[in-house]
Structure 1
Amino acid sequence: MARERIMVTLQGDEKDRATVEAAARLARGIGATLDGLFVEPDASAYLMWTGPGVAAATVMAGAVDSIREESDRCAEIAKQTFSGVLAGFDSLAADGRFYRVSGTVSEVAVEARLARYVVTDPQSMAGNGPLADFVTAVLIDEQVPVIAARAGMMPPETIHIAWDGSKEAARAAAASAPLIANAKRVMVLQSDKGIDYSDRRSAPPERLIDWLSDLGCRAGTIEIDDAGDVGEAILDSSKGADLIVAGAYGHSRLREFVFGGVTRSLFQAVDGPSLLAAH
């Protein structure tokens, strides 16, 4: 029986194949099952029209029907893509399950509660596209680790862990344990910039390195250049890595959005290593 469950998001377009392939390689590498999740658009949101008149309501109802038809089409494409990729992974094909779910974002996000990771595309992690709100709800509300599958190898051979001693960083590091166990090289990235006073006691990288040693991992350290944006410094120091592990939203999401921050820089990266984020 597989030890872990991984879930991959699907939207029924050309982006799905690369994401499912990355998730399948990851699942095979750590002995996990893989579930595909297609999240339907919430049609009820399109009925929130406040103008008068029966004719307008009829037009809106027709629009909802069109949305449902498009959702049916995308769901079938997503299912075919998911099944087609898994057919090339004998160890996953028998256990792979496809789910089509509907409802509000908070309702469908609970589907991820028993997953070790939710694997998604970089655009959704960055807050773009139809899955953006779902991915945010999984990460923030359900506190399930999310992996944005970029160009990094899956399962990753080289892992960089961004460490500042915060609860978010610790959660991300703990979530990455199954990946660390199979990695060939692990490096701890640290900067003294922006460390909260409450995290000073846990911030020294030696604490994380001791924990990693219990996993049989001999990790090194990289002191990143903190002269500018810490998020950009993490990305610059992680060229050649397969995966960055980082805590997400140590500050409020509003502050991150308005003023920028490490989370925003890592989420908005167009290329580079894949990203594992936890909150």
Structure 2
Amino acid sequence: MKSILLHLGTDPQFESRLQGALDLARFTEGHLECLQTRRVPAFLGADAAGFAGSAAMVVQLMEDEARLAEAERKALSARLQKEGVPFSFTESLGDPAQTLVDRSLLSDAIVMSIASSDQRELASTLAAVVTKADAPVLAMPAHATRLEVEKPVLVAWKPTPEAAHAVKRSVNLLQQASRVDIVTIDPSGTGDLPPTAVASYLSRHGVRAELHERSSGGASTADTLLGTAKELGSGLLVMGGYGRSRAMEFLLGGVTRRLLAASDLPLLLAH
């Protein structure tokens, strides 16, 4: 993972994802691309008499935002120059989610935040990027102080395209992990893609993985995964994100949705 895309912002979670991005960049000897997104202010009023005034107001708002953005870049640049990580800045106008998706085409990982339920815009942006981006998303918990890359990595396996995408897109990271554990929760049979097939795939990339099976015992799959991660001393959970539509996850619940609400462990998600 040599090209790491970091979503900039002034939200309270920014510090945790900044630290996660720095740790990932150091671990992979990667480059940090800091993406600053700004929305275009909507025009106020559509009648002919008020159009000119509205347009002038929008121009003023955009100029004010541009000055604030420049100040934020200067402050962050001063910090990053002391971190020993190569970095650059990219600025874009438009919807943050779509901008991150567009930039993912030439990114190896996107660093975002696990948002609390009352931060709907951040949560919605994360969900949209996970399901549409052409790169895995490293989602950092709000109170995380770092990404503990020196710890083992836990791969949550289920024979789905999303889980397979997560494994394939994290190979370079798994190659450097101190240990890789593959866990299946309540396995229902071997099927065409059993955990042994995942271990064989990873072995061809020089990754030796240990297999684990766990029973949920009536608990949720998400809670069982987090409990297993704690038991194994994992520093990162790799998994497929949103095995069904986000609307169905919202209505019926789902592992991804529950983890994004409860995880205190960084998640590497791919769809």
Same fold by TM-score, threshold 0.5 exceeded?
A: yes
Question: Alpha carbon RMSD of aligned pairs, Å?
Answer: 3.0
State the 1:84 CA deviation. 3.1
**Is the 1:160–1:187 Cα contact (8 Å) retained in structure 2?**
yes
State the 1:154 CA deviation. 4.2
- Give identity over the alignment, percent: 28
Kindly provide the amino acid, as one letter, of the partner of residue 227 in structure 2: D
Q: TM-score, normalised by structure 1?
A: 0.81
- Number of the residue aligned with 1:249: 242
Q: Distance in 1 between matches of 2:212 and 2:44?
A: 51
Q: Distance in 1 between matches of 2:71 and 2:15?
A: 10
Q: Distance in 2 between matches of 1:114 and 1:67?
A: 31
Kindly provide the amino acid, as one letter, of the partner of residue 36 in structure 1: C
164-173 or 67-76, which deviates more: 67-76
Give SS of 2:115's match.
Answer: helix
Kindly provide the amino acid, as one letter, of the partner of residue 228 in structure 1: A
Q: Distance in 2 between matches of 1:255 and 1:266?
A: 16
Query: Of 101, 108, 113, which residue of structure 1 is paired with 2:105?
Result: 113
Kindly provide the amino acid, as one letter, of the partner of residue 28 in structure 1: R
State the 1:208 CA deviation. 1.2
Kindly provide the amino acid, as one letter, of the partner of residue 25 in structure 1: D
Q: Distance in 2 between matches of 1:13 and 1:153?
A: 19
Give SS of 2:79's match.
Answer: helix
Alignment of 1:163 with 2:157, yes or no, is: yes
Q: Distance in 1 between matches of 2:224 and 2:45?
A: 46
**Is the 1:156–1:179 Cα contact (8 Å) retained in structure 2?**
no
Q: Distance in 2 between matches of 1:147 and 1:153?
A: 10
Q: Distance in 2 between matches of 1:173 and 1:210?
A: 12
Unmatched 5+ stretches in structure 1: none
State the 1:147 CA deviation. 0.3
State the 1:181 CA deviation. 1.3
Unmatched 5+ stretches in structure 2: none
Alignment of 1:229 with 2:223, yes or no, is: no
Q: TM-score, normalised by structure 2?
A: 0.83
Query: Of 177, 185, 192, which residue of structure 1 is paired with 2:179?
Result: 185
State the 1:14 CA deviation. 4.9
Residues 6/63 of structure 1: CA separation in 2 closer, same or farther (3 Å cut): same
State the 1:17 CA deviation. 3.2
- Number of the residue aligned with 2:82: 88
Q: Distance in 2 between matches of 1:72 and 1:89?
A: 26
- Number of the residue aligned with 1:101: 92
Q: Distance in 1 between matches of 2:162 and 2:107?
A: 18
Alignment of 1:207 with 2:200, yes or no, is: no
Deviations along 1:136-178, one digit per CA (max 9) or x if unpaired, are 3432223321001233634352111110111100100111112
**Number of residue pairs the alignment of both structures matches:** 264
Give SS of 1:238's match.
Answer: helix
- Number of the residue aligned with 1:258: 251
Residues 181/173 of structure 1: CA separation in 2 closer, same or farther (3 Å cut): same
Query: Of 9, 30, 33, which residue of structure 1 is paired with 2:31?
Result: 33
Residues 76/229 of structure 1: CA separation in 2 closer, same or farther (3 Å cut): same
Q: Distance in 2 between matches of 1:133 and 1:39?
A: 15
State the 1:61 CA deviation. 5.5
79-88 or 6-15, which deviates more: 79-88
- Number of the residue aligned with 1:11: 9
Q: Distance in 2 between matches of 1:166 and 1:47?
A: 45
Residues 158/70 of structure 1: CA separation in 2 closer, same or farther (3 Å cut): farther
**Is the 1:187–1:221 Cα contact (8 Å) retained in structure 2?**
yes
